[in-house]
Amino acid sequence: MKGRPRVSIPEGLRARFADLPGRARALRADTERRFPIVTRLAARLLSVNVLDAATRLAAQAFLTAVPLLFVIASLAPESVRKELLDSLVRVLGLSGPSREQLRSVYESDPGSLRQTVGVVGTLMALLSATACSRAMQRVCERAWHLPKSAARIAAWRWFAWVCAALLYLAVQGPLREGFGVGRWLGVPLSLVTAVAIWWWTQHLLLGGRIGWRPLLPGALLTAVLLEAAVFAAPLYVPTALNRSLQTYGSLGSVFTLLSGLIALSVVATVSLTVGAVFHGDEPGAGAVPAAPGPPGEGRAGGGQAAGERSGL
């Protein structure tokens, strides 16, 4: 039985194949030289682990939102409950079964809800809310390549951020309507407020370890992209929620809301990382310098000291 004839490869073609790894390295070096920002951004996004960080943030936001929903419905005055309900309906563009389901929570008897939630449930809801703050803090720290803050420095910041987030959510309805003036004022006002919120969020959760100016690009990009997503939400969210409710019941709405939160978390994580990369070449660029400490004091100690001195 005769073997298969050998195929001879020309020497020139063989040399080209052998030189492919060298050409690839040269192309990479040339790309890094011409477009350093692209390579830095790719490396930073890989180190941040965008999908993992965004999924954790979305999950914690969802687990925080549901308990707080019942706490606010049971403890808040009627005017606050009405304002929050109106804001949620307007932001998400809810209609039909999804709107009625949300309305049933906020328009039920506060007394019965208060008995159901109880003091222990309220405390647990407030403590669990800090998990979302910690996840958001970790996203900011990964974006800037900073170590974790000490709990004694960051604990009060977690509660402050949760309270600010609830207040920001509660005023979304009137804010987007320009407080009764019209959308021509509401749209730019919402954008400016979102920039301020994300700017302050980074500074607060990073413990003041990064100055205000370096944080502005990330705040601008995050606010613009998230505001665009929120304005587009009424085109998709109501239909998806109502379809999920009709097909799978309440469980379907859980998957729909969680998917939306993951998408928003990805946008926020990528935007904050891009803002950090565009500011400086090195990890931790823009960090507030710490005062000279004892010999051998590490980077983490210096960063925490800077956070203690700078406050908000």
* 85-109 per-position pLDDT tens digit: 888 887 777 777 778 877 777 766 6
Mean pLDDT of the region 261-272: 94
Residue 235: the pLDDT is 84
Per-residue pLDDT at 239 exceeds 80? yes
Per-residue pLDDT at 297 exceeds 50? no
C-alpha distances in angstroms, 76 versus 9, 64, 112, 174? 80, 17, 14, 18
C-alpha distances in angstroms, 246 versus 229, 243, 253? 25, 5, 9
Exposure string of 145-161, with b = 16+ CB inside 10 Å and e = fewer, is: ebeebbeebbeebbeeb
Q: Is residue 143 part of a domain?
A: yes
Q: Chain-centre distance of CA 87, in angstroms? A: 20
Q: Is residue 23 part of a domain?
A: no
Q: Which of 308, 273, 244 is nearest to 37 (CA)?
A: 273
Q: Which of 312, 267, 277 is nearest to 50 (CA)?
A: 267
Write down the mean pLDDT value for the chain. Answer: 79
Q: How far apart are CA 237 and CA 154, in angstroms?
A: 34
Q: Is residue 212 part of a domain?
A: yes
The tally of domains found in the chain comes to: 1
Q: How far apart are CA 218 and CA 278, in angstroms?
A: 9
Which range among 22-36, 139-153, 298-312 shows the weakest confidence by mean pLDDT? Answer: 298-312
Q: Is residue 114 part of a domain?
A: yes
> Which residues, in sequence order, are CB contacts of 302 under 8 Å at separation 6+?
290, 293
Q: Is residue 36 part of a domain?
A: no
Torsion over CA of 136, 142, 147 and 150, rounded to 10 degrees?
0
Q: How far apart are CA 153 and CA 151, in angstroms?
A: 5
Residue 306: the pLDDT is 44
Mean pLDDT of the region 258-276: 93
Q: How far apart are CA 168 and CA 1, in angstroms?
A: 82
Q: Is residue 8 part of a domain?
A: no
Mean pLDDT of the region 127-132: 84
> What share of the chain in percent tops pLDDT 70?
76
* 136-193 per-position pLDDT tens digit: 999 999 999 999 887 777 788 998 998 899 889 888 888 888 888 888 898 999 999 9
User: At 254, is the pLDDT very low, low, confident or very high (cuts 50, 70, 90)?
Assistant: confident
Q: Which two tokens stand for residue 223?
A: 């606010």
Expressed as residue numbers, the domain containing 141 is 49-291+299-310
- Residue 208 and residue 288 in contact, taking contact as beta carbons nearer than 8 Å: yes
Per-residue pLDDT at 42 exceeds 90? no
Question: Using the 8-state DSSP alphabet, how is residue 9 labeled?
Answer: P
Torsion over CA of 116, 120, 125 and 127, rounded to 10 degrees?
180
Q: Is residue 274 part of a domain?
A: yes
Q: Is residue 18 part of a domain?
A: no
C-alpha distances in angstroms, 65 versus 27, 125, 130, 173, 247? 48, 9, 11, 18, 23
